Each structure stands twice: as structure tokens, then as C-alpha cells.
Amino acid sequence: MIAILSLGACGKDNGVDYCDNHYGFHTDHLDTIAELSIELTDSGDLDGRLMMPQAVFGDMAESDIRKLLGDAESTFVLQSEVPCRISVTNISSTDRKFEAQYAANCGTDNKLGRISVTLFDQLDGLEEVVASVTTSATSKRFAISRQCDAPIFRLD
């Protein structure tokens, strides 16, 4: 779904490619950027934190926003050798953003191969997710934009 949406949107703005030079445009749309941090431990724990600006929800009622963020298994699809479940541990809000925390334990013998986040499919107002993924071996920070076919690693 993201690839289909990005085909017509990623282009040149004043001769500069938006996706290749995203760092120059990043501050122009901060009100539509979600932040996702995921930490994976050697013991199989996954801790996630999702911060969403109010603007991406449009006119959605707060109860519907909480229901959407509370449906962890629809928001995050965990692909592992043996199915493991993710659940929401907390949802809080201010007048400008919502924050949801998630947890899963897939175990040490159950390799987690992929985490798919379905937020673009659920929220038309969401333009970008800045993700930070940390394991014992590495840490990566990148953006996924509705307008680009590949992750964006140069944000600054």
C-alpha cells in the first residue's frame, strides 16, 4: 500500500529530489510526523513507544484514537518463527499528541524476522514515521515517508 501511494508523490521540488534530500524538507511537516522507538532485547522482549501528533487524526474522536492505538495487533504485525503477541501497555495524551506504549515477549528461541507497522494504511493524515530501532548489536534511526519508496536515513 505504501509503495502504491508513493509512486505519484515522490518528485522534485524546485529541482531537488524530495526523497534523496529529505533532510532539507524535514522541518516543513513536523506536525504530520509520528515517532516510533522499538527496543529489542536478547531475552526476546520488545518495548515500543509510538508518539503521534494530534494533526494526523483529523477530526477523529479521542475514543476512536484510543481504540486505534489500543489495537496493537492491527498496528504492529510481528513475523516470527512461532507467533507472539504484542499488546498496548499505556496510552496517554496531551492537547497536541498521543503516546502509546507496547510490549511483547517472543522468547529467546523465537526469531523475530520482521515488524510491519500499518499506520499508513490506517491514517490518511500521516505523512511520515521516524523510527528508532535498537538491539544489543545495533541502533538505527530512519524515516519512512508516504512519498518515498525506500527508508530515509539522512534526516539531518
Higher pLDDT, 117 or 11: 117
Number of domains in the chain: 1
The answer as to whether 131 is a domain residue is yes
Q: Which pLDDT belongs to residue 151?
A: 85
33, 47, 54, 77, 130 from 126: Cα distances, Å: 7, 22, 10, 18, 11
Distance CA 36, CA 22 (A): 18
The pLDDT-based confidence of 36 (bands split at 50, 70, 90) is: very high
- pLDDT of residue 4 exceeding 50, the answer is no
- pLDDT of residue 136 exceeding 90, the answer is no
What are 99-108's pLDDT values in tens digits? 999 999 988 8
The answer as to whether 86 is a domain residue is yes
The answer as to whether 154 is a domain residue is no
The pLDDT-based confidence of 111 (bands split at 50, 70, 90) is: confident
Q: Which pLDDT belongs to residue 76?
A: 87
The answer as to whether 156 is a domain residue is no
The answer as to whether 16 is a domain residue is yes
Q: What is the mean pLDDT of residues 38-67?
A: 92
Residue range(s) defining the domain that contains residue 128: 2-145
Q: Which pLDDT belongs to residue 27?
A: 64
- pLDDT of residue 3 exceeding 80, the answer is no
The answer as to whether 150 is a domain residue is no
- pLDDT of residue 7 exceeding 80, the answer is no
The answer as to whether 152 is a domain residue is no
Distance CA 123, CA 121 (A): 6
The answer as to whether 109 is a domain residue is yes
